[in-house]
Chains A and B, each alone.
Chain A
Amino acid sequence: DQQVKQNSPSLSVQEGRISILNCDYTNSMFDYFLWYKKYPAEGPTFLISISSIKDKNEDGRFTVFLNKSAKHLSLHIVPSQPGDSAVYFCAASAVRKTSYDKVIFGPGTSLSVIP
């Protein structure tokens, strides 16, 4: 049972346009959401995050929107650049009383930005 879903395995966007990557989650205990970017032959790198107390977080060209009632978040990249071509993973965690938090990952969306 996938707790974090990314229903689009791939996405192609023209350079300069907006890329929108979507993510849905099922566990209402999640309260912190992250996006990771992964190039081939490299480990995932942290991109941007959002706490459940917010509905938007922006960092340069990257904005993450959170809709808690719909259990949905999205990553917007604008303008898209060819260097943004990578696999993007949505992830979620829940603050718990144990000494660490698990981070649950979605299956990823492969973004191709066409020059």
Chain B
Amino acid sequence: SAVISQKPSRDICQRGTSLTIQCQVDSQVTMMFWYRQQPGQSLTLIATANQGSEATYESGFVIDKFPISRPNLTFSTLTVSNMSPEDSSIYLCSVHRRGREGTEAFFGQGTRLTVV
């Protein structure tokens, strides 16, 4: 498994502002993943962050809204830009490890964002 630290753990933000979430992993990983869990819903992949290249975004998510940085192999940031109440969610950083039988995802503790 991996130790993944996220901060902040929670925040309450005004609409129209932006919040940057930081994610630190205790080992070097090629890819880091950002998920969102809206209230009562599943974990949805936002984007995959590769070191040294632009992030790859899933359908429904765009770089202008969720810019991602990946300056090195142990760190990434996700920014939630121009926030609205609909962005209130838990945001989770993850690394995936491919084992002998398949891929497992490991998560940070999450950032609970409330937009007012």
Contacts and interface: CB of A to CB of B under 8 A. Distances in A.
State yes or no: do A and B come from one complex: yes
A100 B109 contact: no
A25 B95 CA distance: 23
B63 interface: no
A93 interface: yes
Interface residues of B, number: 27
Instruction: Tell me what chain B mostly uses at the interface: helix, strand, loop, or mixed.
Output: strand
A4, A42, A44, A51 — which one has the most chain B CB atoms within 10 A of its CB?
Answer: A44
Nearest to B4: A43
Bin the interface of chain A by size. 20 to 34
Interface stretch (B13-21, B65-73, B74-82, B96-104): B96-104
Contact of B42 (A31, A93, A105): A105
A107 B103 contact: no
Given A43-B4, A43-B92, A43-B108, A107 B42 contact: yes
Interface of A: 2, 4, 9, 31-32, 34, 36, 41-46, 49, 51, 89, 91, 93, 95, 99-103, 105-108
